[in-house]
Structure 1
């Protein structure tokens, strides 16, 4: 019986796919460039302030960059620079 409250319901949360920081930065850079922004300046503004308004919403770039933590972005940039 569908209305029977004796059965335990199962709920499963889907894990969000892990995104690569490099891929995120590449896509965000492309979106910023397409909209006529200087991607370096905009990314610096975002990294220093944490304000996602520095990143365009064009092509979902703002939502995409919020999927990674700012410290992860900085770590990836330093690894790449120091390697």
Structure 2
């Protein structure tokens, strides 16, 4: 049998574990700190505008942050914030 008759299996990033929104935000935060940017300002700028120029290419942060939709990143931030607040009774 000729090698041209065989089907070759091709796998694109199928074996890589997809990064969670939390992992992405922490990686981006660290990259911004390493580049001496204010991470809060830069991440907020990206989340509000969608402009990836707010995130550096350092440590592949820009590519990584674009793997998730911005609403998924915001959802993670809100979930974390609310989970870490004391529960008070509404008066």
Mark yes or no: TM-score above 0.5: yes
Aligned to 1:29: 29
Over the aligned positions, Cα root-mean-square deviation in angstroms equals: 1.6
Matches within 5 A, 1:13-28: 13-14=11-12, 15=14, 17-28=17-28
Cα deviation, 1:7-29, whole Å, max 9, x if unaligned, reads: 57455443363211111111110
Deviating above 4 A after TM superposition, structure 1's stretches of 4 or more consecutive aligned residues are: 10-13
User: TM-score, normalization: structure 1?
Assistant: 0.82
Higher relative contact order (CA 8 A, sep 6+): 1
Aligned to 1:48: 48
Provide the rounded CA distance (Å) in 1 between the counterparts of 2:3 and 2:25: 48
Q: What displacement does 1:71 show?
A: 0.7
User: TM-score, normalization: structure 2?
Assistant: 0.76
Cα deviation, 1:20-50, whole Å, max 9, x if unaligned, reads: 1111111110110111100000001000010
